Structure 1
């Protein structure tokens, strides 16, 4: 009896998580007005999280190509990933800034641009890594460039966290 109850609860939990992710994505795409501080905060966070997810999918694809599990075209997939990130960049740019969110928005825009740079650098590194005849010096230079871009993106992500924290701590008294 306990086994069936556990299975039922586990299935219900997994369905709930998948449904919540889908609903969140639809809400962000449907209403990008930023008509409240909380909504604006979540809109920016969702843009960051969805961009990170797009990058992670591309990173996994590059790893699959390196492991010979996939024969995907890295350039074509890079373009699709960049278009997806551009969609989030555009959403953040076009959303009216809610009170006091200017620096937060700028931090998010800088981070999303860094994610785009990371995708471009990863595509170059992935192409070099997939070719067995690649010169080691060229590969090492590309790897160092990718590491530098990744470190910059980490710094920008930390800046987003700081700006988010500052933004959440501010409040306005309405008269």
Structure 2
């Protein structure tokens, strides 16, 4: 068995392949890493991303994200990626529980992104006041100008969806 350092370097190469759009070779390299180090959390995260985003295999995506969080509990990427997946497949209650767990257990949480996802769920559920407030909170914690512009657009969109009474309630708060 080769050293972990070799597989860390292989992981960096796999990450580069994926970034360059060479998903198949990146996936193959990640699978090779996990055949030798099945508890390599970052490789599980990347495989979860491939299964979810490129292959639409949500069950395998969930499986790998859960292993990533188990084996690499301080690595933030799988927490957010798992949230995206749960919301995209309509499992809002699980997503909300997961976000709550993340807020309470993970250091260095990207509150902006998670609040944006809470806003997205509230919007899907037609709770426009909550959606507006989550997007506003996401914007407040953000540093990226493009993200801030996106939150402004989200806030405008949900405001346009609100009834006159919801808009009045929003102004009163």
Q: Which TM class, normalised by the smaller chain length?
A: 0.3 to 0.5
Q: Which has the larger radius of gyration?
A: 1
Question: What is the TM-score with the length of structure 2 in the denominator?
Answer: 0.33
**TM-score, normalising length from structure 1?**
0.33
Higher relative contact order (CA 8 A, sep 6+): 1
